[in-house]
Amino acid sequence: MGTHLERYAEPAAEARRTMVRLIVAGGGLTDPTWRLAFEEVPRHLFVPYYFVSEGGDYERLWCEDPDPVRRERWLRGAYYDGPLATRVRDGELISSSSQPSLMARMLEALEVRYGDAVLEIGAGTGYNAALLAHRLGDELITTIDMETEITDSARAHLAAAGFRPTVVTGDGARGCPWRAPFDRIIATCTLPSVPYDWLAQCRPDARILAPLSTGLIALRVREDRDGARSAEGRFLRTSAYFVPLRGGAAVPRRRLGAMPRGALENDLFRFLLTLTEGSLDPREALSLWERERRPRRDRFGVTVSGGRQWAWLDDPEGPYVWPLGRQNAEL
């Protein structure tokens, strides 16, 4: 693969510089070390093909298209600051490469330190693992995904770009115990709740960053007096939409019935609806949202302790708390 893509080196480098400038202009990549990683890791090597939605159908763009116009379109899209659909099965998206500016925010929010061992849940194309390996070194990075097809291609993409972190085929909800303990865990798939296995595989003071509901929860892991692990933290202010985690519990979905259109179109209200599924009906959620003056995501948090986990508004002790991890109906 690398041989075929070498001819794109110069235009790709210019496209990469443009992508980084746009991310910086939007307030991202304030850490110069992460900026260097985005400048030097060639994203196009990780997306030799991807799919774009055209009228509900997916069109495939790839690096070896005989049409030079379509090849140029493929390369330009590889450095567009947006998500790319990389695996589609029976019309359903099963894997993607995330929006680079969102990846940058997540990596900076992970707060890695020199020598940190990192577990990534959701290997995707391997691009995020490459950015982590650029920062910390191959030996400290583990990335896991359920599907052999995904991990095989991620491993090939990483090798083509000169990186060799550990790529594992397995259930990310169970972590990767043989590579533990970890100082950081980052997930690139949406969770219904926090897998307890992750906490058990973390060192004390580890940080977990994961999509939950339509936000990003940043948890700090603690070791309790009896040696058990607990974790607590708040959501970041940014929104986040990812492919659901496969292998764990189902991601919450629900029927909403008749609701004011303005509320349903509000991103923050839909975040609250998903977060409180199983605890508040939509009307109760709307009443709370309006009473609390449409709270932003960073007013909410999550606590995992004593075999329980719950979301909360403002204070983990209440009065507004909701259990996580319930099964839900179709939206």
**Residue 120, domain member (yes or no):** no
Average pLDDT of the residues of the chain: 90
Q: Which of 95, 96, 97, 101 is catalytic?
A: 95
Task: Determine the pLDDT at residue 141.
Answer: 98
Residues 327/249, Cβ–Cβ less than 8 Å: yes
Q: Give the residue from 73, 108, 143 where a domain finishes.
A: 108
- CB burial of 260-296 (b: ≥16 within 10 Å; e: otherwise) equals eeebeeeebbbbbbbbbbebbebeebbeebeeeeebe
Which residues in the chain show pLDDT less than 70? 1-6, 246-259, 261, 325-331
Q: Which of 49, 84, 108 is the last residue of a domain?
A: 108
Burial class (CB in 10 A: 0-12, 13-18, 19+), 232: middle
Quick one: DSSP state of residue 227?
S
Res 328: pLDDT: 32
Q: Can you read off the two tokens belonging to residue 322?
A: 């909701």
Query: Which pLDDT value is given to residue 251?
Result: 43
Indicate the number of domains in the chain: 2
> E strand or H helix at 97, and its extent?
strand 92-97
174 part of a folded domain: no
Tell me which residue range forms the domain holding 89: 1-108
Boundary-marking domain end, from 108, 131, 150 = 108
Angle between helices 100-109 and 32-40 (to 10 degrees): 140
Q: What is the pLDDT of residue 3?
A: 47
Residue 269 confidence (pLDDT): 93
**Quick count: other Cβ atoms within 10 Å of Cβ 205?**
10
132 lies in some domain: no
Sheet containing strand 229-239, edge to edge, reads 166-169, 141-145, 118-121, 182-187, 202-212, 215-223, 229-239, 300-305, 308-313, 321-323
Residue type for 58, please? Y
In this structure, what token pair is assigned to residue 253?
């979905």
pLDDT tens readout for residues 278-318: 889 889 999 999 999 999 999 999 999 999 999 999 999 98
Catalytic (active site) residue 95: yes
d(CA 58, CA 54): 6
